[in-house]
């Protein structure tokens, strides 16, 4: 029988082993539970709309990437105020074997605007910029030309951040790798080699909401002049370093040493963009390269700042101002949805070859970022968010059920033909009781139309309606594509 001291040591060793085993078991159990969560997200994709009464069909991420011809996806999920998991899928370049990783860089496109807005508001809090008042009083090397719309009201930084300044140039096209990239001043002036029109005021400031990348190019110049820094270094100092965003940078393109760690852009047909991606010198509007994990840190900082527990970039009052809607659906930099029980903030992005979405809630510590390297990425992003929302019990991204009526093969034949949708070719294809829409504006795939009324059909890939129209003689003249509050007319050509 062991002596008292040996017995005590033995019991202590057993206890220590028991604690270690319990801790290891708990860690293993947590890891298993998380992997099961991730697996359910990966296998639980759904289109935005489903046919009521049809058997519920959850889809696998790999299958939907193949269907939509999206070579790479990067996902980060925020839960309980922290990054719960981040994974990447696919390959950086279609046809290659180099797998995408969570540290792979993507063009984030217009998510750039939200990050730039946070930095601009930081400069406001430092007293280097003014949120209100004529922006021309804060500009030196270039002035926003006055015209008939600015006689009585001038454009302010607040309005530029909110897209309510009446400024033109919705978005930017980017430049191929072989093309000369214009300076910021050339972009603002619309001078060669810029491929967009001069930035001007086209509506009375503060009277309507109109999305303007041109406005964010003005903001970029204001920030550079106020700080006397170039834009990439300014954003590094204000945002990336404080948030430890080690894989983020503003740049028209990437230095050669970083290009092997970047996803190439792909068009709607699945082909790689010439030169792998376009250059975007309009940095504040569209020039951010990042990862889903880094952008998830933006979500977390906004959540903490709004709650008053962090001020790494903005104070809590300024964050609340940023997340308060002005005109339209935006605050100052983010799209904002305010409900009695919750506030969400988001921004999507679309450069040539890339589609992205950042989305978060202020109160619940939840959110996600999804980055894709394809013009077809939007539909896939919606399907991924539907799966995440189901797994994490979000109130948004709910799948919508719609009822159908009996198909009519004779009617389908009458509706079939060639159309022009936003001046681009579109086809309506009839195959017996099935009717399809083919339009590269929506997808490289043909999309099935489900009949909900006499000549009204809905899509499932997105919440959109196609309503066919006739003239006074009951002759088919075209259709309207209705998505949310927007209607896009299509004319029948044959």
Burial 260-285 (b: 16+ CB within 10 A, else e): ebbbbbbbbebebbeebbbbbbbbbb
Q: How far apart are CA 272 and CA 275, in angstroms?
A: 8
Q: Please, what is the average pLDDT of the chain? A: 92
Helix (H) or strand (E) holding 148: none
Residue 477 in tokens: 């003249």
Sequential DSSP letters for 248-274:
-EE-SS--GGGGGGBPPPB-TTSPBPT
pLDDT given for residue 384 in this prediction:
98
Catalogue the long-range contacts made by 39-46 (C-beta closer than 8 Å, 24 or more residues apart): 40/387, 40/391, 41/75, 41/77, 41/384, 41/387, 41/388, 41/391, 42/387, 44/387, 44/390, 44/391, 45/383, 45/384, 45/386, 45/387, 46/383, 46/386, 46/387, 46/390, 46/399
On the question of a cis peptide bond just before residue 193, with omega within 30 degrees of 0, the verdict is: yes
Burial 385-399 (b: 16+ CB within 10 A, else e): bbbbbbbbebeebeb
Which residues touch 23 (CB under 8 Å, ≥6 apart)?
none
pLDDT at 441 over 70: yes
Instruction: Please state which architecture CATH assigns to domain 66-400.
Output: 3-Layer(aba) Sandwich (3.40)
pLDDT given for residue 65 in this prediction:
97
Give CA separation, 10 vs 1, 2, 3, 24, 311, in Å.
12, 9, 10, 21, 51
pLDDT given for residue 461 in this prediction:
85
pLDDT tens digit sequence for 226-235 = 999 999 999 9
pLDDT at 11 over 70: no
pLDDT tens digit sequence for 92-104 = 999 998 899 999 9
pLDDT tens digit sequence for 427-436 = 999 999 999 9
pLDDT tens digit sequence for 129-178 = 999 999 999 999 999 999 999 999 999 999 999 999 999 999 999 999 99
Backbone angles phi, psi at 435, to 5 degrees: -130, 140
pLDDT tens digit sequence for 244-303 = 999 999 999 898 889 999 999 999 999 999 999 999 999 999 999 999 999 999 999 999
pLDDT given for residue 436 in this prediction:
97
The pLDDT of 308-329, averaged and rounded, is: 97
3-state SS class at 296: helix
pLDDT given for residue 462 in this prediction:
82
3-state SS class at 9: helix
pLDDT at 24 over 60: no
Q: How far apart are CA 374 and CA 74, in angstroms?
A: 12
Read off the pLDDT band of 321 (50, 70, 90). Answer: very high
pLDDT given for residue 26 in this prediction:
54
- 3 vs 458: which has the higher pLDDT: 458
Q: 389 with 401: CB under 8 angstroms?
A: no
pLDDT at 492 over 90: yes
Give the pTM. 0.89
Does the 404-492 domain belong in CATH 2.30.30.30? no
Read off the pLDDT band of 55 (50, 70, 90). Answer: low
Q: How far apart are CA 243 and CA 235, in angstroms?
A: 11
Q: 83 with 365: CB under 8 angstroms?
A: no
pLDDT tens digit sequence for 364-380 = 999 999 999 999 999 99
Q: What residue ranges do the domains of the chain occupy?
A: 66-400, 404-492
pLDDT given for residue 25 in this prediction:
45
């Amino acid at each position: 029988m062991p002596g008292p001291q040996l017995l005590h040591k033995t019991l202590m060793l057993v206890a220590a082993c028991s604690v270690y085993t319990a801790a290891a078991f708990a860690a293993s159990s947590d890891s298993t539970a998380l992997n099961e969560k991730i697996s359910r997200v990966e296998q639980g994709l759904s289109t935005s709309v489903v046919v009521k009464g049809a058997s519920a069909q959850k889809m696998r991420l790999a299958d939907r990437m193949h269907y939509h011809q999206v070579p790479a996806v990067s996902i980060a999920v925020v839960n309980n105020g922290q990054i719960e998991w981040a994974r990447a899928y696919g390959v950086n370049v279609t046809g290659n074997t180099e797998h995408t990783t969570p540290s792979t860089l993507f063009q984030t496109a217009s998510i750039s605007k939200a990050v730039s807005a946070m930095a601009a508001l930081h400069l406001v809090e430092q007293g280097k910029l003014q949120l209100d008042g004529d922006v021309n009083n804060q500009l030196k090397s270039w002035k926003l030309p006055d015209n008939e719309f600015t006689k009585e009201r001038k454009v302010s930084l607040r309005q530029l951040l909110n897209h309510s300044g009446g400024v033109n140039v919705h978005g930017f096209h980017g430049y191929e790798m072989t093309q000369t990239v214009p300076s910021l001043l050339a972009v603002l002036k619309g001078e060669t080699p810029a491929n967009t029109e001069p930035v001007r005021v086209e509506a009375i400031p503060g009277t309507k909401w109109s999305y303007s990348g041109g406005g964010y190019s003005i903001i970029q110049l204001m920030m550079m002049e106020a700080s006397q820094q170039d834009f990439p270094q300014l954003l590094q100092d204000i945002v990336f370093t404080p948030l430890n965003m080690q894989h983020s940078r503003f740049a028209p393109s990437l230095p050669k040493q970083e290009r092997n760690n970047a996803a190439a852009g792909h068009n709607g047909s699945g082909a790689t963009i010439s030169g792998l991606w376009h250059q975007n010198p309009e940095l504040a509007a569209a020039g951010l390269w990042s990862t889903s994990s880094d952008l998830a840190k933006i979500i977390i900082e906004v959540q903490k700042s709004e709650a008053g527990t962090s001020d790494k970039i903005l104070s809590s009052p300024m964050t609340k101002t940023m997340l308060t809607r002005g005109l339209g659906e935006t605050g100052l930099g983010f799209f904002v949805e305010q409900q009695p029980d919750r506030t969400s903030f988001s921004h999507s992005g679309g450069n040539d070859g890339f589609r992205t979405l950042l989305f978060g809630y202020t109160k619940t510590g939840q959110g996600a970022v999804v980055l894709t390297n394809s013009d077809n990425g939007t539909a896939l992003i919606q399907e991924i968010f539907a799966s995440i929302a189901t797994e994490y019990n979000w109130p948004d991204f709910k799948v919508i059920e719609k009822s159908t009526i009996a198909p009519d093969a004779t009617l389908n034949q009458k509706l079939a033909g060639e159309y022009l949708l936003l001046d681009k070719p579109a086809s309506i294809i009839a195959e017996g009781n099935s009717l399809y829409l083919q339009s590269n504006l929506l997808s490289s795939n043909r999309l099935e139309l489900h009949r909900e009324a006499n000549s009204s059909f809905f899509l499932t890939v997105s919440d959109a309606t196609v309503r066919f129209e006739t003239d006074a003689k009951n002759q088919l003249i075209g259709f309207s594509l209705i998505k949310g509050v927007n209607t896009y007319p299509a004319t029948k050509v044959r």
